[in-house]
Each structure stands twice: as C-alpha cells, then as structure tokens.
Amino acid sequence: MHKPPLSACEAAQQLAQRTLRAEDLVRDCLERIDAREPEVQAWTHVARDAAVARAKALDQGAHQGLLHGLPIGVKDLIATFDMPTAYGSPVYAGHQPANDATCVAFARAAGAVVMGKTVTTEFATFQPNQTRNPCNLAHTPGGSSSGSAAAVADGMVPLALGSQTAGSLSRPASYCGVVAFKPSFGGINRAGAKPLSDTLDTLGAIARDVPDAALFAAALTGRSSWLVRPMAEHLSRPLRVGLCHTYEWEQALPETQAAMQNAADVIRANAGMVLRDVQLPMDYQQLAQAQTYIQLADQAQSFAFERLNHWAQLSPRLQGIMQAGLAVTVEQYDQAHALVARCRAQLAEVFQDVDVLLTPSAPGAAPAGLDNTGDPVFCRIWTVLHTPTVNIPAGFAPNGMPVGLQVVGPVGADGVTLAAAHALHQCVGVSRA
C-alpha cells in the first residue's frame, strides 16, 4: 500500500534542516509516477534526468528558498524553457518556448524542482485529454488543470501549478479530493501562460492541504502574509462564516447538498466560529451568464491565430466554443462587463457581516466517463468577481468520490481566506487517507 507522503511544509522543513535529501524526495516522486502514470496519465512530459540532477545540485548547495528541493508539476498551459509546452493541442506539438513563465522562474529561484508538465485540456477549455481521476479511473478528473489535480491527488508531486478562467482550479481539485487556491485576480503573475481572457485568467496552486498551497503561492509572490498562521493572528474574534448557496443552488446534487449541510452543522457547534446565511444581491442572478459571455468572446479573440490558421486541428468541441464566442455581440459583451462592475461594487455588502463565504465548488462529485470535464457553474461568479477562493475536500458521494466546498474571501484578503480555509478544512474537511 502506498504510504501517505509528507506534506510540502513538512518536507520543506526537513529539507531545510538537511534531514531529508532533495534527491530522495524526487526519486520517491518518480517511483510513484512510474507506478501510477500508465493508469492516471497526468503528465505530458516527465523531466526525469533533469529533476534528479537539479535535486543533487540543491543537496550540495546553499538553501535556496521556501521551495528548496520540493518537486512540482507545471500545467502544460504554462511556458518552460527546457520542456515542451503544447497547451493541450496538436497545433503546438513539440513546441518549446525560449523562456520560463514568470511563475516557473520564481518557483525555480525559490528552489523548486520542476518534475515535468501536467496535462491540460485543449487550450484550457473543455475538450479533455488523456488524464483520469485517480480516485476512480472511470471518472473525469475535471479540467482544465486535469493533470495537476490528478498528480497531486495521487501522490506523484506535493505541489502543482494550475490556472482558472471559469473553474479550472476549483473543479478538478474538488473532483480529485485535493486543495486548490485561486488568489485574488493578478495575485500570481501570469506572463508566460497561454491567455484565454485578460480579465478572468488567474494562476493558482494545487496541493494536498491548505498550508502547502499557501506556501507555494507565497513563494511565487513574495507575500509572506499568505503563509497560513492561526486564525487568532488575523482576527481577535470568532471567524464569521457565511453559508452561501448562490443562485445556482438548484444545480447542486445530493452529495453537495449533504456536504453543505454537514459543514453548517459542524460550524454551528464550533465555539471559534459563527455561521450566518448570506443571500447574494439580485444582480448576481445573471452573473454566471455574464461570465460565460465574457469568457466565450475573449477566447474567440485570444485564439484568433489558431482559429484562422489551424481550424482543422481544433477539436469539434473547441470549434463550437469559438463559434459561440464569435456569436456574442458587442452589446452583450459590454452589458456583461457592466453587470460585473455593478456586482463587484456590491462585494462590500456581501462581506459586511462575514469574513468568508462557504459555497459549493461543483454540482457534485466527478461525473463518470472521460468525454467531458464537468460544469464550472459554481465557480464562474467568483472568478469574474476576482475574489480569492480555496477548494477544500468536504465530503464524499455515495460512490466514494470526493466532494469539495469553496471558501471565498474579499478581494485582496487572501491571507485571511487561506487561514479561514485551513481552519474550516480542519473541522469540516475530509481526507482520502
């Protein structure tokens, strides 16, 4: 039986104290990849020799930073100078950028060992590639950060980079039973990541627990305030949690409804927390549709080169997405942005009496089959609002598949959101182990 791996924070401490060698940690990850990759198929490229050489150099040199010796996966939407970056599409088969994306450069500078590139859906949209859910290989891992979520969930690496334009961090993390942190918009520099939407794209971290995700994100940004500390260091009173079903609640399946109810019961019984029901403003009823219009239209523009020059190499599903984006009128697009602006202006009202919200991450557990990656309906509004979100594993469906909930904070309150997510994960969360 595969032993539970060290958390990234535990490994980082041991690596800093030189009681754990980076080479040993990397070889453990490679052993796990060798054992499970034929089934899970989380990787497009594994840089075996380069990772071992990098680990040996780190073991022999000075301590390099927060990520010293920690193996990471990099979503294949994100540029790496020494590995292929194909964006999940045959259009870019064998493509190798001349430089690292900013987040990869910062990760390496902080001591990370890049193990390879993890599978993304086609151009991070909705056409799946080969990855399967490690909890049950007959189910989707979600998307678009499919490989990153699967690799972390299966113990292949402790940390992985992902991105979100609608629900591409939160949903696969929910489906695979891991943590995903989507910072406030712009929190992690996205230069070098293939753009889908200038107003939506957000890079983030996937890990097995909240402190690990926070460690990764802090190393990429220099924001030590994101490192998880006890809730009392952020607030001098009980944590106020807003239970928020959103206007999409009718799409929640029984396992998500049960996870929300269980979380509410546990929070009410916790002396260090206060639970309040939060009803979103009326304008938010149309917010998911507004996000959809913006994403569709932006993608049709962002992929203009591929659309105009490589149409035949796009999947029928992506061709349909491009056509839908071109059908969004200028009036619809501008009205969508105007609605988003009104809703962002009402965020202060939403968080007036609470520190964070607790809300679904996905309609339910990962659907069976590998032909679609699930619905991001519960993530769209938070992405377009630019709020920080943290998916925490919070339950299981009757078939044993994980169910996640999102902890959502005010824009810019990433440190409090992470601390609250850690506290909530400890009291309402579950673990596959």
| For residue 432, pLDDT beyond 90 | no
Sheet holding 159-164, edge to edge: 43-46, 113-118, 71-75, 159-164, 202-207, 179-182, 389-396, 402-408, 356-360, 239-243, 273-277
pLDDT band of residue 1 (cuts 50, 70, 90) is very low
The ranges assigned to domains in the chain are: 8-226
What does the mean pLDDT of the chain come to?
Answer: 97
Whether pLDDT at 299 is above 80: yes
Instruction: Return all residues near 182 (Cβ < 8 A) that are at least 6 apart.
Output: 164, 169, 170, 202, 204, 382, 383, 388, 389, 390
pLDDT at 429: 76
> What percentage of residues in the chain have a pLDDT greater than 70?
99
CA-to-CA separations, 222 to 96, 114, 283, 414, in angstroms, rounded: 28, 19, 36, 13
Span 315-348, pLDDT tens digits = 999 999 999 999 999 999 999 999 999 999 999 9
Q: For 238-264, what is the mean pLDDT?
A: 98
Pick among 3.90.550.10, 3.90.1300.10, 3.90.950.10, 3.40.50.300: CATH of 8-226: 3.90.1300.10
Separation of alpha carbons 133 and 374, rounded Å: 12
